[in-house]
Structure 1
Amino acid sequence: MIGTHQIPMHEMLAALSYALDLTEGAIPGHAIRSCLYGMRIADELGLPELDRTTLYYALLLKDVGCSGNAARMYSLIGGDDRRMKHDVRLLDWTRPSLAAFSTLWHQALPGSSAILRTGRVLKLALDQNKNSRTMIAIRAELGANIARKIGLGEGVAETILRLNEHWDGSGYPQGQRGQTIPLLSRIAAVAQHLDIFASETGLSRAMQELTDRAGRWFDPELVRVARCLYSRSQLRAAVGGFDHFARVKQLRPGTLRSLSTEEVDRICEIFAEVIDAKSSFTRSHSSSTARIAVGIAGELGFTVQRRNRIRRAALLHDIGKLSLPNTILDKTGPLSPDEWDAVRAHPILSRQILDRIPHFGEIPAIAAQHHEKLDGGGYPFGLSGRDLSLDSRIVALADIFAALSEKRPYRKTLEIGEVINILESDVPNKLDPDCFEALLRYLHSAPYATI
């Protein structure tokens, strides 16, 4: 079990950064590799320890606001928000180009007629500045607020908030320029750019792009520092090897502390909000699942520690769902076979992310099994009753109850009686009868007398 003062903050945030890479359509480990690049630049500049610590956490969490604008991106382009985010990262979108037009053409309203797509592309091109400012402002402000909620301080929040400002004033959200942009934001911008291009096209191309944008996007002095490091092969060494997760943990920023039980809970709650922000149809799904799961566990007489374990698993059970584009999450019609394959993969990703958090014990397994059924008809592993712990059965039931009680793009919100009838039809073949009876008792109890 997780006790107090067992999980170092930097290890938990490094692990959860993999979930943010999913939302951005980035190659897994992007935030961690960006952190390795940024900290090497910080070393070269001789930054004081406090600034290094601030930069470290800001780079790990730089994309923490990314789910907040996913639904808006989908509504604008009518296509895959993750793919669009991925492609835009490789473009100089401050200048008109054939590559930018091609990206818009391929991502906007896929499957629609040429007339509709042309109209959407022209609309996007005309509104590019307004849309970019809005999209970046949403993610930057949400990211900064999350950093504050976690307790990382105003320095981390400001670094995240100003990350997409450009040296020449062409960035967002405020159009700051030159040295009015915080130094740590300027370093973070260079570091993330290096990894985006190095991961996709190689470090040599990344350096060329960095040089081409010096004085426009990036601080020329920081580009000079990066070029010096590159010439000495120290940028390549910064991300050398395969286990970047272990390397970033070994950097050990100056302000080191382990998380208390309450702080671990708070971070789980915050990342549940990140997960649910991906779609307007899941605004409180993770927290609702956790509330119901804890209520069932309470009716079954579980200890406080065990209820807390279940709550954390329920809060984070859908973290792998950040890999799904809103073309799937917000789809009004039936899913295609390929889309179903993507949906069925999300619990595996949840486990892979949560397995990286030290001392999380059974939480990753509980979270990953929330779509399994007692008769073996669930996914992704097709486990049956003998393979599923009582904790897993509780979270699975709570997840279904919460989902059926919420509006979805393909149906309206169901009345509580309808939800109970649907669940009851799956007892005992698919859902645990003891858990179902405990759910009924919980729903009848004050202050949750809902039936």
Structure 2
Amino acid sequence: MNRVQGARLFSLPVDLRQVVYALSASLDLVGIGDVAHGKRVGIMAAECSRFLGMSEAERRLLFELGVLHDIGVSSTITHHHLVSEFDWESSQRHCEVGYQLLKDFRLLAPLALPIRYHHTHWYLLRDMVAVDRKVARQANLIFLVDRCDALAAPYYADGSLLMHTAEIRERLAACSGEFFAPELVDAFLKASRSEAFWLQLEARAINDYMLDMLQKREPCITNNGELKVLARIFSGIVDAKSPFTMTHSLGVSRLSRALAEQMGVSAMHCDMLEIAGLLHDLGKLRVPDEILDKPASLTQEERAVINTHSFETYQILRHIDGFEEIACWAAYHHEEPDGEGYPFHLPASAMALEARILRVADIFQAMVQDRPYRRGLSAHDALTFMQQLADQGRVDPVVVAVLEDHLPQMMMAAIPDHEQDHSLIWRIGWPLTHVATSQLCLEQAAHGAGTGAQESA
């Protein structure tokens, strides 16, 4: 019996800024070996603001702008171009994606326009009458310190950054007027004279800076509706990483909620499970594109890389106050009742019902969803496979039984409407790097691609 359908009586009190800061870690995962690009850009922007006469509120905004400036990037190949090429010809694409993602979300909308223009050269930006002067300065400052981080990137790993600061400063100063506003270059040169400016970019100092900035901001308690919108923004970024997974997280979220409602789960936990479904694959942002899009069977080493993604999800979400259960449910979607899942190898007794529901939803949605290389399975065929997994002790048979009892309804929940639910991602398209892989996608099935539990990795 469905006891809670349509209920929206509960609220999950969460500080939105804490959520944003924690989820920014997922964006940094795209760098794979370099997982702090956004944070460093935010730190440098905030430090430069001290020499521009900006208020403390604008300083905080610039920090958050830096942290989220690459919200339109999910491809590891795109990230590589952005940090290895000073003026990549295709850089504007991710700026537009980022703008579209944030422009209608009330609490982050002030970041949208600066993100849209954060790779626009100053000689063009200064003459755009439609762009407010304040927005132009914010965007251009992010562009400046973003390029600073790209120039500094080769020196972080070996600790030699201080030996190269003079050449970095000279390179950026030479771009004054064309790439960057002269007043912003002057502020950067003043801020970057000190060794402390550069030492704050080391890993051991970044987290302290993040905590300091978080503590200075007044809490911004959000409601469940706003939290879901933010979760959907991030799920769209994850799903856009590969043409294999477009709208997967949204389908898992909807199906998880539908199953939970039929099983009498409380309204609040249904809301929380919906969010967990949206965010369950955050850790995939750290998986290289070439592994996710590989048109052949994975090697043992490649499978090991993919198997880290649910732990990465856990590491990101567990730091949000109020997300303790959401973090577990999201991270346990590859755990199996027989203890043979990953990455925690938990027995059934350690998995909450919500986690077991999300696991079933993840596998079923992956099987029925159309992928570029094959049509989705029918509801009946997917259910048969789920029943086989239940017989093998790999999924909860009780959840599978509910899936069977309400199969038409669950099928509708599992397959989102592209136009309504992820229109942005479909309208803008996949990252440029995926265009060349479309033909390879069609060959995936013939090369031993897995289905069901394996395919939903």
Q: Does 1:189 align with 2:114?
A: no
- Taking structure 2 as the reference length, what is the TM-score of the superposition? 0.77
**8 Å contact from structure 1 (residues 367, 392) kept in 2:** yes
Structure 2 CA distance for aligned equivalents of residues 209 and 233 of structure 1? 13
Of 35-44 and 384-393, more deviation after overlay is shown by 384-393
Q: CA deviation at 1:334?
A: 0.8
**Pair 1:146-2:128 in alignment:** no
In structure 2, distance between residues paired with 1:196 and 1:12? 26
CA contact (8 A) 2:114 2:135 kept: no
Match runs of 1:78-97 below 5 Å: 82-83=76-77, 85-86=79-80, 88-93=82-87
Task: Indicate which of 235, 245, 250 corresponds to 1:287.
Answer: 250
Residues 202-258 of structure 1 show CA distances to partners (whole Å, capped at 9, x for unaligned) of 255355224213324333432332222232334136446725344224225767522
Per the TM alignment, residue 198 of structure 1 is displaced from its structure 2 partner at its CA by 3.7
Query: 1:424 & 1:310 partners in 2: Cα distance?
Result: 23
Cα contact 2:12–2:268 (8 A) shared by 1: no
How big is the shift at 1:148?
1.6
**C-alpha distance in structure 2 between counterparts of 1:5 and 1:43, whole Å:** 36
- State which drifts further: 228-237 or 347-356: 228-237
Cα offset, 1:194, TM superposition: 3.2
1:79-102 CA-to-partner distances (Å, cap 9, x unmatched) read xxx2563255233346xxxxxxxx
Kept in 2: contact 1:394–1:435 (CA 8 A)? yes
Separation in structure 2 between the aligned mates of residue 150 and residue 393 of structure 1, nearest angstrom: 31
Please give the alpha-carbon distance, in whole angstroms, between the structure 1 residues aligned to 2:245 and 2:169. Answer: 38
Work out whether residues 99 and 112 of structure 2, in 8 Å CA contact, stay in contact via their aligned partners in 1.
Answer: yes
Find 1:385's aligned residue among 348, 365, 369.
348
In the alignment, structure 1 residue 329 sits paired with structure 2 residue 288:
no
Q: 1:364 and 1:331 mapped to 2: Cα distance?
A: 29
Query: Gapped runs of 5+ residues in structure 2?
Result: 1-9, 156-160, 415-457
Contact 1:52 1:254 in 2 (8 A): no
Task: Report the alpha carbon displacement of residue 391 of structure 1 after superposing the two structures with TM.
Answer: 1.4
Aligned partners of 1:403 and 1:10: how far apart in 2? Answer: 32
Q: Which residue of 1 aligns with 2:453?
A: none
Counterparts in 2 of 1:391 and 1:4: CA distance versus 1, 3 Å? closer
Give the Cα–Cα distance (whole angstroms) in 1 for the partners of residues 413 and 223 of structure 2: 33
1:232 partnered with 2:186 = no
Instruction: Give the TM-score taking structure 1 as reference length.
Output: 0.78
Q: Among 108, 116, 122, which residue is 1:167 paired with?
A: 122
322 and 409 in structure 1: CA distance in 2 versus 1, 3 angstrom threshold: same
Residues 243 and 231 of structure 1, relative CA distance in 2, 3 Å threshold: closer
Deviation at 1:438, TM superposition (A): 1.5
How far 1:168 moved relative to its partner? 4.9
Q: Secondary structure at the match of 1:426?
A: helix
Amino acid at match of 2:138: L
Deviations 1:335-363 (A, max 9, x none): 12221111111111111111222221111
Does the aligned pair in 2 maintain the 1:7–1:359 contact within 8 Å?
yes
- Over the aligned positions, Cα root-mean-square deviation in angstroms equals 3.0
Change (3 A) 1:290 1:221: same
- The secondary structure found in structure 1 opposite 2:336 is coil
Is the Cα contact below 8 Å between 2:314 and 2:328 reproduced in 1?
yes
Of residues 53-62 and 84-93 in structure 1, the stretch that sits farther from structure 2 once superposed is: 84-93
List aligned pairs for 1:46-125, cutoff 5 A. 46-67=53-74, 70=75, 82-83=76-77, 85-86=79-80, 88-93=82-87
1:346 to 309, 320, 324: 309
| CA shift in 2, pair 1:447/1:93, >3 Å | closer
Determine the C-alpha separation between the residues in 1 that align with 2:203 and 2:242: 36
Report the CA distance between 1:447 and its aligned residue.
Answer: 9.6
Corresponding letter in the other structure for 2:230: I
- Following superposition, the deviation at residue 144 of structure 1 comes to 0.9
Change in CA separation of 1:20 and 1:447 when aligned onto 2, cut-off 3 Å: closer
Q: Does the 8 Å CA contact 1:279/1:326 hold for their aligned counterparts?
A: yes
Deviation (angstroms), 1:180: 10
1:7 alignment partner AA = V
Name the CA distance, whole Å, in 1 between partners of 2:266 and 2:254: 16
> Equivalents in 1 of 2:83, 2:367: separation in Å?
37
Amino acid at match of 2:136: P
**CA spacing shift, 1:440–1:187, aligned 2, 3 Å:** same
**1:298-326, CA deviations, whole angstroms, 9 ceiling, x for partnerless residues?**
11101101111211111100000111233
In structure 2, what is the Cα distance between the partners aligned to 1:386 and 1:189? 50
Matched, 1:401 2:364: yes
Matched, 1:137 2:92: yes
Q: Distance in 2 between matches of 1:264 and 1:446?
A: 24
Aligned AA (1:208)? E
Q: Percent identity, aligned pairs only? A: 26
SS of residue in 2 equivalent to 1:144: helix
Structure 1 runs, 4 residues or longer, greater than 6 Å off: none
2:72–2:98 contact (8 Å) kept in structure 1: yes
For residue 39 of structure 2, what is the aligned residue in structure 1? 32
Residue pair 1:194, 1:206 contacting (<8 A) in 2 also: no
For residue 162 of structure 1, what is the amino acid of its counterpart? Y
Q: 1:354 to 1:446 in 2, by over 3 A?
A: closer
Q: Say whether the 8 Å CA contact 1:194–1:203 is kept in structure 2.
A: no
Q: Is 1:420 matched with 2:383?
A: yes
Query: Does 2:16 align with 1:9?
Result: yes
CA 1:29–1:6 in 2, change beyond 3 Å: closer, same or farther?
A: farther
Q: Cα 1:153–1:269, aligned 2, differ >3 Å: closer, same or farther?
A: closer
- 1:356-380 superposed Cα distances (whole Å, 9 cap, x missing partner): 2222111111111101111222222
